[in-house]
Amino acid sequence: MAEKQKTDRTRKLMASPRLTPPQQRLDVRMRAQRRERQKMEGQPIFSDLKSRLDLAKDRYRPTQDGVAHGCLARGDADLYPSLLVLARDGLKAVQQFDPYFLTHDLYDDGMFWYGLCCFISGAAIRVEADHAEAYIPAATIDELLDILCQMSRYSGGGDIANRMLEAHAETLIGFYSAERLRAVRAFAATASPNAKRHLKAVVAAVVAHRPPQKSPAHRRRR
């Protein structure tokens, strides 16, 4: 009986596709990466952040019409303070695992930052649509923009980088000032190459959205 089981097992092994040494190394590496990702996604700090984000999103969930362009159903006095606290805690959480996220996708935080960036973009669009920019404290916006600058260190590639770019650009467009744009450029000047590329793309998106400003001399000639 034991001999028959051994023979059956041998036949199965022979019938299965054989991996070449390079494929074996790749398979081992992919399994290790999957275990790392699952371990990171299971960190209590990220699952707690994701739960808090989901509660906040439920409060401002967009209407069916608003889903198409990312606009929240409404805004109120608590919207941006809530966003700022989530962004502040989210930055600290990622920084806690800095070596990991410098070499891995930000998706591995359980999709917290992906969801938060979509939320930040929707909030900026909502406030701009309501012409309510003046009701949001400038210090709140400045700190949020600074956090987004710091998060550019982990922007990497893929769709998460696009969502981060949109969140940053939409906030700058909605709460535009030349000083805030200069602050992003100044941060980019001393940032890592990856962050520098990301922040330059943010600035380019904001500049492209705004109509060109005529110089005083040009206005006088008219």
Which pLDDT score is estimated for 74? Answer: 87
Which pLDDT score is estimated for 221? Answer: 42
Which pLDDT score is estimated for 157? Answer: 78
The dihedral over CA atoms of 23, 98, 148, 157, expressed in degrees to the nearest 10, equals -10
Q: What is the pLDDT of residues 76-109, one digit of tens each?
A: 999 999 999 999 999 999 999 999 999 888 989 9
pLDDT band at 69 (very low <50, low <70, confident <90, very high): very low
Q: What is the mean pLDDT of residues 115-137?
A: 94
Q: What is the mean pLDDT of residues 122-134?
A: 93
Which pLDDT score is estimated for 6? Answer: 53
Which pLDDT score is estimated for 10? Answer: 52
Position 220 pLDDT exceeds 50: no
Which pLDDT score is estimated for 200? Answer: 97
Position 222 pLDDT exceeds 80: no
pLDDT band at 41 (very low <50, low <70, confident <90, very high): low
Kindly state the percentage of the chain with pLDDT values over 90.
60
Q: What is the pLDDT of residues 141-188, one digit of tens each?
A: 999 999 999 999 999 878 999 999 999 999 999 999 999 999 999 999
Which pLDDT score is estimated for 66? Answer: 42
Domain boundaries, the chain: 41-211
Which pLDDT score is estimated for 61? Answer: 77
